[in-house]
Amino acid sequence: MSELDGVGVMVTGATSGLGAAMAAALSAAGARVVVTSRDLARAQTAAAQLGPDALGVALDVRDEDAVGAVVEEVWDRLGGLDVLVNNAGIGMLTVNPRFLTDPQPFWAVAPDGFRDVIDTKLTGAFLVARAAAPRMVAAGSGRIVNISMSEQTMTRRGFVPYGPSGAAVEALSRVMAADLADTAVTVNLLLPGGATATGMVPDDTPPEVRERLLDPAVMGPPIVWLASPRAAGVHDQRIVATEFDAALSAP
């Protein structure tokens, strides 16, 4: 048997980047993975690439009604939900296509762009967890993993609203963990540990910068561990993927 046989996982925003890498690792470990995207065709294509046990579902995490309906659908189709990975997010490209080379001050950010990033990353994580957590509590088990970013990114010049969205997700996670402390549901944070080679990076990023980008696959080992029996009882932790192997092997 594979390590995650029988484990049902939903990864939001899982058709590319970190989400796709985590979905692939979870599926390879035996989990039945639900891939979500705003675009149904993309979700279904990504799921098909994982194998016959994966499901592709359309979901706009900003939409409260859609979130409730999808969580109910996933719960019914999987016979429950063991792990929720809140990964959905949009990056700085949506507010400044040249954010790495020409950072813009916060006052130059369009309010609609600000809201879209915050609503996707922060409000989305809140809405999906809000729909899943009561079911997990009633079932007597469940794990929520919220995907974050480095503190340097949170406070970097020109990174409004992406940086603040990550900082807010970290605060939300800590409160969620406190609220769930007396239950069998755990909440943890996971982040890559540096900039990663995803679609959030501008096309004109200099080669010397691209060479330093992390492979999104760095998220694979820690997310599989967090979904596995090995992480039973792990709660309210901030796990950095680049430091995961060293932390796991430490005495």
Confidence band (pLDDT; 50, 70, 90) for 250?
low
Q: What is the mean pLDDT of residues 147-171?
A: 96
- Spell out the long-range contacts of 94-99 with Cβ–Cβ below 8 A and sequence spacing 24 or more: 95/161, 95/162, 96/158, 97/202, 98/202, 98/204, 99/158, 99/159, 99/202
Q: Among this protein's residues, is 162 annotated catalytic?
A: yes
Is the entire prediction scored with pTM above 0.85?
yes
Residues in a beta bridge with 185: 142
Residue in 75, 126, 159, 162 annotated catalytic = 162
Mind listing the pLDDT tens digit for each residue in 190-239?
999 988 777 667 676 677 777 778 899 999 999 999 999 999 999 999 99
Mind listing the pLDDT tens digit for each residue in 67-113?
999 999 999 999 999 999 999 999 989 999 988 889 999 999 999 99
E strands along 71-160, which residues? 83-86, 142-147
DSSP notation for 64-93: HHHHHHHHHHHHHHHTS-SEEEE-----GG
